[in-house]
Structure 1
Amino acid sequence: MFVLYKTANRVINKNETTSLLEETCSRILSFCNSNAFRQGICIHSPIIKLGLQHHLYLNNTLLSLYAKCFGADTARHFFDEMPQKDVVSWTGIISAYVKSGNHEMALRVFDSMLISGQCPNGFTLSSVLRSCSALGEFEYGTCIQGYMIKQGFDQNPVLVSGLVDFYSKFDLIGEASSLFIDKGNHDTVSWTMMISSCVQARRWSQALQLYVDMVEAGVPPNEFTFAKLLGACGVHGLNYGKLVHAHMILWGVKLNVVLKTALVDMYSRCQRIADAIKVSNLTPEFDILSWTALISGSAQNFMFRKAVATFCDMRVSGYIPNNYTFSSILNVSSLMLCLELGQQVHSRVVVAGLEDDVSVGNALVNMYVKCSDKVDDALRVFRGISLPNVISWTSLIAGFAEHGFQHDSFRLFMEMRAAGVEPNSFTISSIIGSFSAAKLLPQTLMLHGHVVKTNLYKDTAVQNALVDFYAGSGILDDARRIVDTMSCRDAITYTTLASRMNQMGHHELALNIITDMNNDDIEIDEFSTASFLSASAELGTVVTGKQLHCHSLKSGLCRWVSVLNGLVNLYGKCGCIRDAQRAFREIAVPDTFSWNGLISGLASNGYISSALSAFDDMKLSGVRPDAITFLSVLSACGNGKLVDLGMEHFQSMSEVYDIVPQLDHYVHLVDILGQGGRLEEALEVIQTLPYRANALIYKTLLRSCKAHGNILLAEDMAKRGLELDPSDPAFYILLANLYEDSGRGDLVERTLKMMREKQLRKNPSQSWVEIQNNVHPFVAGERSHPQTNEIYEKIESFETELKKHGYHLGMVTRDSYHHSEKLAVAFGLLNTPSKAPIHIIKNNSICRDCHGFIKFITRLVDREIIVREGNRLHSFRKGECSCRG
């Protein structure tokens, strides 16, 4: 460069002709414009000395140099002082503003150009279209298109590509495609632009199809084409990504840093981080984007240590992290829930002067929300962001909601709107989701009103959040109304509805959703399957459950732990304990829910020793028991009358596992002590409860008093229980039964009279049996069923057989003759294939007469009859019951 400068001075000294001077300066400036920007500025002074400051070509070149060296504003000063301006001058300054991101000024200068009478060329219009896209000036852009057509620029390949990009930015891919197809004869740049537009619009399949069309048209792709295609493959799947990678090799495209970064990103998105690392090591060239892609890819694949190590290697290699790098490593901190790492990265962000950057600020807000117990940390970072965007606000609002500050999150939402930042679907769905847990109906109604006024109401995520809120709040009609009006329902819509219906006890309605999903041609996924299995388990509809099991096997859903857990729960609650154990064995790594389902199933089916053995296996496998586990273990101890072992497990909750026993655990403890005859100890547990006693715990001890004939304590428990729940007839019935067992007929009549005076009635006995996917309910004394005569004839035939065998049940009364479980058993025997087990659900305890009756039936017929009462199952087979009663 110094030699060139001396040559210019030598030319001046020798007084060579003006044309030669102009030519020499032009060559020097042209060289500098491509290779040495700042040295080229030094030529400005000799040009003035030579009197060439009016030379238009030289001034246009200098304008380009000033823009490259000092930015658009400095170039503007030079532009304003230029004595002459042509289309190149105007295009140069417009391009400078576009490159600097000042699109408003670019359009303003373009308007001035038109006013001056200067006609734009294709390059001018291309820059203007970019500004229209960036500013969302759709009408302005269409006016530019009209001007292009009038001036005959509509066949210009550069402008066609610009228009394709313009329409794509407004999500008008149809118009962009039509324009692209109409013009024809495209080169590699225009094909790549169209592919890029489809990728940006998330039309992955269309982008890949365009590549196929491009190859068939004989247009060779370049590295930019493949970089864009790999972006589509990262979403579309590994097989597509491998195919594009192979094509890249076949076309002989050199692996540069851009392509390497795109390949790393694609393999990372497809969970092939080993391949991503292998690709990154193929060439020694790295840049900040390739390092960032490796860090981000490791984080996506939960290889957090690898991500941190890569960040350290990048620093050692001398690369300075940019805002995207810091955002990626902060995301690692959030996923690891590692506040210390996040704080260390935060300090580096401050040193780099990027704390007010929006993307870094958003990552910091998210990190502190996830990792810190104090929302003030996130709020402080948020206030430091110079121009917070919708992501910044959403992260903060969601963070406050996650920490339980729902009212504050709603206040921040209002502050966000006041700041002129419009919420997106994630903002709204996050707030509604937090309100669902807090049951904040008025605030949700306000948000619902807001989204109805905006296009957000059509967003599936927002509608799903509203469905979840209304269904979770028990307003099923409103939830169902939203579902019916949705134009695009998905698996989340129906899974949310089914899950909430299960929580409310509407299990039949939950199973009906299977039909709705089939009608909408929505595939049942692992989450919806788990919900449907839960509904089947609660209803005891084992046939429906087995059909879901078959669907899971065919669709490959049985590899999901949640589905297998659902199967363990289903079969355990339906008395199919061998099937439950088989499903459990298929789980590669059982979690707490898996073990809980197995232990509960074994305990409720009467396999006490197996349940306690499974609990030991759970601990040996390294899975930590939780509060639900101990409910099942204590239930097993109670059913097995293992008092000392039950006491030991109860004490280990707090002493070994740091689990605070809840009221339900104390109810089980009272039941264990009561069944073991240690009534005084059970009473002491109630009197020293750390919680306010409920009616259930008094009822539990009352049952034990009945079993052991303790009238005084029973009367005390009944009195205390009725003070808490005067409308529960169970206290009167248990007390009356105790009096009857003790031969106190007078007290029986007095107790039943008090019950009648309070207009209390025992809940009618109901039983349900599933036959061929239909649930048939039976009420005590049922005579409205179409098969009533056959049912009663069946029962009478068994009664006759019972008398022949001299089998006495003790209290075979006319009332027990009509009990719902007997009706359900008779109906099941009449309508199911021989050898098929019969599954019955009962809404209250099975009476002694019916229990003995069903045991006798299984002596006569080779059937298994399973009756579920609450959480306990009676499996009758060959005259025996799993409860050993």
Structure 2
Amino acid sequence: MLCSSKTLSHSFSPFRFRETFLHLLSLCNSQSLQEGLCVHSPIIKVGLQHDLYLNNNLLSLYAKCFGVPQARHFFDEMPHKDIVSWTTLLSAHTRNNHHLEALQLFDLMLGSGQCPNEFTLSTALRSCSALGEFLSGAQIHASVVKLGLEPNPVLGTTLLDLYTKCDCPVEAHKLLAFVKDGDVVSWTTMISSLVESGKWSEALQLYVEMIEAGVYPNEFTFVKLLGVSSFGFSGMGYGKVLHAQLIRFGVEMNLVLKTAIVDMYAKCRRMEDAIKVSNQTTEYDVCLWTTIISGFVQNLQVREAVNAFLDMELSGILPNNFTYASLLNASTSVLSLELGEQFHSRVIMVGLEDDLYVGNALVDMYMKCSHTTTNGVKVFRGIASPNVISWTSLVAGFVEHGLEEESFQLFAEMQAAGVQPNSFTLSTMLGACSKMKSLTQTMKIHGRIIKTKADIDIAVGNALVDAYAGGGMADEAWSVICMMNHRDLITYTCLAARLNQRGDHEMALKVITHMCSDEIKMDEFSLASFLSAAAGLGFMETGKQLHCYSVKSGFKRCNSVSNSLVHLYSKCGSMHNAFKAFKEINEPDTVSWNGLISGLTSIGRISDALAAFDDMRLSGVKPDSFTFLSLIFACSQGNLLNLGLDYFYSMEKTYDITPKLEHFVCLVDLLGRGSRLEEAMGVIETMPFKPDSVIYKTLLNACNLHGNVPLGEDLARKCLELDPSDPAIYLLLASLYENAGFPDLGDKTRKLIRERGLRRSPRQCWMEVRSKIYLFSAREKIDKDEINEKLEFLISEIKNRGYPYQENEDKLYHSEQLALAFGVLSLPTMAQISINKNSFICTHCHSFITLVTQFVDREIIVRDRKRFHFFKDGQCSCRGGQT
């Protein structure tokens, strides 16, 4: 009897073991405890390794505790598999963002003959949504219909999510009507999908439709919607309405919802309202406190952020990694290395130095706040597994410190480590290309962008436009713009600014037309760029139109626009309007004063320019290097040698401004005009820069003025060593010989230009008449037209009146003469004629225009490469000193 009892007990032991194993596995699965896997070995020992139910539980635990690879290994060794097995592994893939592998696994399951259930299908659909796989999702939808599972709410909401993310609003709305007549879960799912896809207006519109359909939102609906309205101050109105409606609908203010409301007000720059909401209930957790701290940081209220952190600790709630990351961001926002180091020490004390989020914030803080990259690199090397944010912060830091070459080395190291760059990384590297003006690197990165389809990101597209335009490849920049799916204000502002920097002002103004085509309105920054382009070309009419736009749009109060207006009118020679624009600036800054001083200098009002500088100092505005460039040039034009020298030497001594090469060029011009040629040569030989052809040509021109042939010949020789193909050097030398009484040497020098095939850039003039631009180049006298006829009339009139006039040696009408004749023909009688020139006005044309104004009652303004010439009643503002 005892023996039979033992036998019976032994026969039931596997069953009892099975129940125990199941209980343990269920408990461990619920809490994701890896200790539960210790029963795997006993299961095999007692012979239960073929039990499908036990194996499915083990599979689930493997997936939760060790991830997809271990779970897949166990799955492959399972002797039997059912739909639960496949769904468990499929869910593990989806949960760990292995979406492509999940869909491949789903196909394998179908190939094995297993019939999916609603959970399998829902999991596969989630992977389709994540990948944007519309066709795969539609095929699964067909299976849903075939299996009669379409009314299932779980599948319905998953399908809603798929079609919303794949930009199929019609299909989504049809499903919404079909699934349980659109319950709150279905509506909220669709709203959530729209929010995650960045379709803010569609999400809010769907919420309105939801209310109209009689479906009342719950707290989850409002949490999602509040995310819509918190993307800037423009969402403030929507946020307040949603806050009012959740009160009206009686939605309970739980902690998650309160945090969402606080976040909305914080991002809308209403921290007072955010704090009021946080105080409505006594419930606080680390997430809410971190949201409050982050809100203060976003609003640059660093002191308040630190105080909130201290209040949080006093309340007994411990900060987490996100809290410290926000505080480190606060240090970065005010560039306080000391504050950042204090929070770094706190991070070490609480043992969060290995956290990825904190590590990334530390790298960013040290890179932006420190004068060196040492600490940033040290923190980065301490991160166990740096992600794309870590690498991007490091690379961006090197670019900001001017270490572009090293940033490219890090970029290569990042890719070698298997970390793929995101749009921010690529934009940063393109910024480095722009700084280096490296077109080779730009094209390499462009190739990678095309290969990875990163060009759909507008930030990457804008950075690419900036890099190409900054490198002088305007056509490539335009090609990128044409290929971009979307363009914004930054796209066109970057392009216009870069075109201005390269002197292509006409192309910069054409950007306005493209902006209008894209229905993009100018802001104060783009407007300033366009005003600068108009100033560069001397287009008064275009500038006035932009001025009107600035007034209508309310941008006139912006300093960048006001400064551009001062610059515009100064460059167009209209100092009356320039003064008016300057006086309307509430607090003129250095740029404002520089525009006024340089404008006065360019029209020859030297004493007024120097008086403006005195006013600038008295107002407490500090001058910069450009201020002194204008002052030294003014002294050079006004023959104020000693004062000019005082200004030059006061730069470093009084204002701690290190002179640049262009300041030494101005100094040499100043000394040269004052007959101190040897001293000017001494400046060139002792200055801390390698001399270029410009500074030698400046002194060569002074030798021409004072007839110093030996020094002039030596300078010409030095110039030709640096730039042997520059015809201007030969022309200056020829002029020196001719003025010194050596016409034969002058002729020989000019002959060298022809023999060596050297050509000057064409001398051109342009005028703006009724918002249209007219370009003039020198052309032969044989062309008989209205302009030539008018020129012949003016010349004959000069001769008939007995004024001295000599025909052009080259038998061509110069561009200034052609422009003048056109202006007389096209503009109303007595109207001012404004001519812009890309080179210095020649002596012949200067004399010609002076004579014309003796019998033509007009003011004629010529802006050449250096200054303005105001001709009136046979006189010029330069008093004959046009060189």
| Aligned-pair CA distance for 1:702 | 3.2
Equivalences, count: 828
| Aligned-pair CA distance for 1:212 | 0.6
Q: Taking structure 1 as reference, are residues 200 and 60 closer, same or farther at Cα in structure 2, changes over 3 Å only?
A: farther
Contact residue 132 and residue 138 of structure 1 kept, 8 A: no
Measured in 1, the distance between the counterparts of 2:745 and 2:413 equals: 68
| Aligned-pair CA distance for 1:652 | 1.5
Measured in 2, the distance between the counterparts of 1:853 and 1:419 equals: 71
Measured in 2, the distance between the counterparts of 1:813 and 1:502 equals: 35
Contact residue 644 and residue 670 of structure 2 kept, 8 A: yes
Q: Taking structure 1 as reference, are residues 412 and 566 closer, same or farther at Cα in structure 2, changes over 3 Å only?
A: same
Aligned residue runs from structure 1 range 358-507, under 5 A: 358-507=356-505
TM-score (norm 2): 0.81
Contact residue 368 and residue 377 of structure 1 kept, 8 A: yes
Q: What residue number does 2:769 align with?
A: 771
Choose the corresponding residue for 2:561, options 549, 553, 563. Answer: 563
Query: What SS does structure 2 have at the residue aligned with 1:237?
Result: helix
Q: Taking structure 1 as reference, are residues 259 and 634 closer, same or farther at Cα in structure 2, changes over 3 Å only?
A: farther
Identify the structure with bigger relative contact order (alpha carbons < 8 Å, sequence gap 6+).
1
Aligned residue runs from structure 1 range 362-761, under 5 A: 362-738=360-736, 740-741=738-739, 745=743, 748-749=746-747, 752=750
Q: What residue number does 2:287 align with?
A: 289
Q: What residue number does 1:787 align with?
A: 786
Query: What SS does structure 2 have at the residue aligned with 1:770?
Result: strand
Contact residue 230 and residue 262 of structure 1 kept, 8 A: yes
Measured in 2, the distance between the counterparts of 1:626 and 1:392 equals: 37
| Aligned-pair CA distance for 1:661 | 1.1
Measured in 1, the distance between the counterparts of 2:544 and 2:460 equals: 34
Choose the corresponding residue for 1:210, options 190, 206, 210. Answer: 206
Measured in 1, the distance between the counterparts of 2:649 and 2:738 equals: 37
| Aligned-pair CA distance for 1:582 | 3.2
Measured in 1, the distance between the counterparts of 2:82 and 2:681 equals: 101
Aligned residue runs from structure 1 range 73-472, under 5 A: 73-74=34-35, 131=95, 137-138=102-103, 140=106, 142=121, 154-165=150-161, 178-235=174-231, 237-472=235-470
Q: Taking structure 1 as reference, are residues 116 and 732 closer, same or farther at Cα in structure 2, changes over 3 Å only?
A: closer
Q: Point out the more displaced range, 825-834 or 713-722.
A: 713-722
| Aligned-pair CA distance for 1:324 | 1.3
- Structure 1 residue 851 and structure 2 residue 846: aligned? yes
Q: What residue number does 1:47 align with?
A: none
Letter in 1 for 2:787: T
| Aligned-pair CA distance for 1:650 | 0.7
Letter in 2 for 1:410: F
Measured in 2, the distance between the counterparts of 1:112 and 1:168 equals: 39
Q: What residue number does 1:12 align with?
A: none
Letter in 1 for 2:183: D
Q: Point out the more displaced range, 856-865 or 205-214.
A: 856-865
Letter in 2 for 1:434: A
Contact residue 229 and residue 238 of structure 2 kept, 8 A: yes
Contact residue 809 and residue 849 of structure 1 kept, 8 A: no
Contact residue 237 and residue 270 of structure 1 kept, 8 A: yes
| Aligned-pair CA distance for 1:722 | 4.1
Letter in 2 for 1:196: S
Query: What SS does structure 2 have at the residue aligned with 1:841?
Result: strand
Contact residue 438 and residue 471 of structure 2 kept, 8 A: no
**Superimposed CA distance per residue, residues 324-364 of structure 1 (whole angstroms, 9 cap, x where no aligned partner):** 11111111222222222222212222222222222222212
**Superimposed CA distance per residue, residues 278-308 of structure 1 (whole angstroms, 9 cap, x where no aligned partner):** 4445555433222222222222223333333
Measured in 2, the distance between the counterparts of 1:449 and 1:62 equals: 55
**Superimposed CA distance per residue, residues 473-517 of structure 1 (whole angstroms, 9 cap, x where no aligned partner):** 334444443333333344434444433333333333333333333
Q: What residue number does 1:799 align with?
A: 798
Query: What SS does structure 2 have at the residue aligned with 1:234?
Result: coil
Structure 2, gaps ≥5 residues long: 1-12, 107-119, 126-139
Letter in 1 for 2:422: N
Contact residue 830 and residue 858 of structure 2 kept, 8 A: yes
| Aligned-pair CA distance for 1:317 | 3.5
| Aligned-pair CA distance for 1:232 | 0.4
**Superimposed CA distance per residue, residues 835-867 of structure 1 (whole angstroms, 9 cap, x where no aligned partner):** 543321123222445335434555655544321
**Superimposed CA distance per residue, residues 713-738 of structure 1 (whole angstroms, 9 cap, x where no aligned partner):** 44444444444444444445445545
Letter in 2 for 1:200: E
Q: Taking structure 1 as reference, are residues 159 and 542 closer, same or farther at Cα in structure 2, changes over 3 Å only?
A: same
Letter in 2 for 1:832: L
Measured in 1, the distance between the counterparts of 2:57 and 2:790 equals: 95
Measured in 2, the distance between the counterparts of 1:399 and 1:510 equals: 31
Contact residue 496 and residue 529 of structure 2 kept, 8 A: yes
Q: What residue number does 1:840 align with?
A: 835
Letter in 2 for 1:768: W
Measured in 2, the distance between the counterparts of 1:634 and 1:536 equals: 26
Contact residue 71 and residue 89 of structure 2 kept, 8 A: no
Q: Taking structure 1 as reference, are residues 665 and 73 closer, same or farther at Cα in structure 2, changes over 3 Å only?
A: same
Q: What residue number does 1:831 align with?
A: 826
Measured in 2, the distance between the counterparts of 1:127 and 1:751 equals: 85
Measured in 1, the distance between the counterparts of 2:578 and 2:351 equals: 59
Contact residue 230 and residue 263 of structure 2 kept, 8 A: yes
Measured in 1, the distance between the counterparts of 2:169 and 2:63 equals: 24
| Aligned-pair CA distance for 1:747 | 5.5
Q: Point out the more displaced range, 748-757 or 866-875.
A: 748-757
Query: What SS does structure 2 have at the residue aligned with 1:531?
Result: helix
Letter in 2 for 1:702: L
Contact residue 129 and residue 163 of structure 1 kept, 8 A: no
TM-score (norm 1): 0.81
Measured in 2, the distance between the counterparts of 1:609 and 1:215 equals: 72
**Superimposed CA distance per residue, residues 398-421 of structure 1 (whole angstroms, 9 cap, x where no aligned partner):** 333433444443343343334333
Letter in 1 for 2:34: D
Measured in 1, the distance between the counterparts of 2:278 and 2:56 equals: 40
Measured in 1, the distance between the counterparts of 2:177 and 2:270 equals: 36
| Aligned-pair CA distance for 1:54 | 8.2
Query: What SS does structure 2 have at the residue aligned with 1:830?
Result: helix
Letter in 2 for 1:180: L
Choose the corresponding residue for 1:818, options 785, 810, 813. Answer: 813
Measured in 2, the distance between the counterparts of 1:88 and 1:282 equals: 50
Letter in 1 for 2:700: L
CA-atom RMSD in angstroms: 4.4
Q: Taking structure 1 as reference, are residues 272 and 813 closer, same or farther at Cα in structure 2, changes over 3 Å only?
A: same
| Aligned-pair CA distance for 1:392 | 1.9
Q: Point out the more displaced range, 645-654 or 498-507.
A: 498-507
Q: Taking structure 1 as reference, are residues 88 and 749 closer, same or farther at Cα in structure 2, changes over 3 Å only?
A: closer
Q: Taking structure 1 as reference, are residues 138 and 584 closer, same or farther at Cα in structure 2, changes over 3 Å only?
A: farther
Q: Taking structure 1 as reference, are residues 173 and 813 closer, same or farther at Cα in structure 2, changes over 3 Å only?
A: closer
